[in-house]
Amino acid sequence: MLFHVRMTVDLPASMPPEQAVTLKQTEKDFAQRLQREGKWRHLWRIAGQYANVSIFDVDSIDELHTLLTTLPLFPYMHIDVTPLCRHPSSVRDGDF
């Protein structure tokens, strides 16, 4: 199942800089592992924002929920999820 996920991060201004650096590195490592596993298929930064648009390929909405809620930055995120399905005019056979 494919899902379009928009994540906007809002770290508190009171967070110590060293904690933010550690948290961001942990998030990066986790996200890259999920990408290598094929669960996080695409990841794009939204220019000018601390936000991204991603495509997840998971077996269920429950799996997506588990992945998102275990992201290290999850407590500081606003997340919008949109389920996707194949468009009949798509020429990409592998995108479903």
Token reading at 74: 């999850």
pLDDT tens across the length of the chain (96 residues): 999 999 999 999 999 999 999 999 999 999 999 999 999 999 999 999 999 999 999 999 999 999 999 999 999 999 999 999 888 888 877 665
- Say what the pLDDT of residue 36 is: 98
- Say what the pLDDT of residue 96 is: 59
Q: What are phi and psi of 17, to 5 degrees?
A: -55, -40
Q: Which domains does the chain have, with CATH numbers?
A: 2-84 (3.30.70.1060)
Q: What are phi and psi of 35, to 5 degrees?
A: -65, -45
Compute the CA torsion angle 22, 76, 33, 2 (nearest 10 deg).
-170
- Say what the pLDDT of residue 95 is: 64
Give pTM, 2 decimals. Answer: 0.90
